[in-house]
Every structure is written in C-alpha cells, then in structure tokens.
Amino acid sequence: MKTEEAAPDLTVILRKWARKRGNLIMILHELQNHHGYVARSIALTLARELNVPLARIYEVLTFYNYFKLKPPGRHVTSVCMGTACYLKGAGDVFGELSQRLKVEDGQTTEDGEYHLQTVRCLGCCGLAPVVMINGRIHSKVQPRDVSRILEQTVPLTTE
C-alpha cells in the first residue's frame, strides 16, 4: 500500500518533517490533530515510511495520554482538573458527566456521540470549574448544570 492510499495528508506531513530530528512525535501530533486519533493503518504506514519498528510508534502513542488509538466521540468533552477547577468541584462535575454519559475517563459513549476526558488545565482558572465541549468553554459549572449543557450540545429530537 502506498502512503497516498493510506491518507493523502500523511505524505505532506512526512515531507514536512523528513529531515528533522525527533520527527516521530511531531508527525504523530499532526496526525492526531487532523484525525482526532492515530489509526492502526496509519501507524503501520508510518512505520514503513520512517523505517522504524511499529513497536516504537506504539511506545510513543501509549506513553503520552494525549494520543488516542480509537476515534473519539463526536463531542469531545474535557473536564479541567487543574488546581483551581479541582478545588471548586470539578471532580463532582466529572462524576455527574460520567454518570449521565455512562462512561469513565478516556472513554467514548456507545453511540459515539461523546468522548469524556479529564485534562490538567484549560487556562481558565478564574472561571473554575470549567468544562470544554468541542472547543466551547462552559464556566463555573456545577453538577446541576450538566444536563443543560449536554442538551445544548446535542439538541434533543422530538419524534
């Protein structure tokens, strides 16, 4: 299989980082940013193109919490667990989200709609606790706000 068949963007990324030292992690970052995860087929192609063992690629992918090996849900939901958010109740907010979505940290709902994750800091300490869904910040979130926030994210259909 040629690189172009696996993912047209991989060729461009490989060319960009071709002669740079430590390029593997930068290539993986770009792939993650583009696709939301690093697919096994892309990792296999990357191993072949870079002439590195697939195990080395998976060492990096599994060491850093940032990388995902499966596609995340349509709505990436991040709960900040930085000091300010944590002290203001982010754990309770996360617990409510986890219970409502029926997933744990790093998991995606069965219907593929939500991916729930904790993050170390979103840089919004004055708005703590903070939840970010699809890049949109929800500030001063309390557990009682969770159902409203979820309803705003995916409007309920009436049939």
Q: List the chain pLDDT tens, one digit each, 159 residues.
A: 344 444 457 888 888 888 888 899 999 999 988 888 999 999 999 999 999 999 999 999 999 878 889 888 999 999 999 999 999 999 999 999 999 999 999 999 999 999 999 999 999 999 999 999 988 999 999 999 999 999 988 654 444
Contact 134, 140 (CB under 8 A): no
Question: Between helices 146-153 and 90-101, what is the axis angle to 10°?
Answer: 50
Contact 33, 46 (CB under 8 A): no
We find that the CATH architecture of domain 75-153 is 3-Layer(aba) Sandwich (3.40)
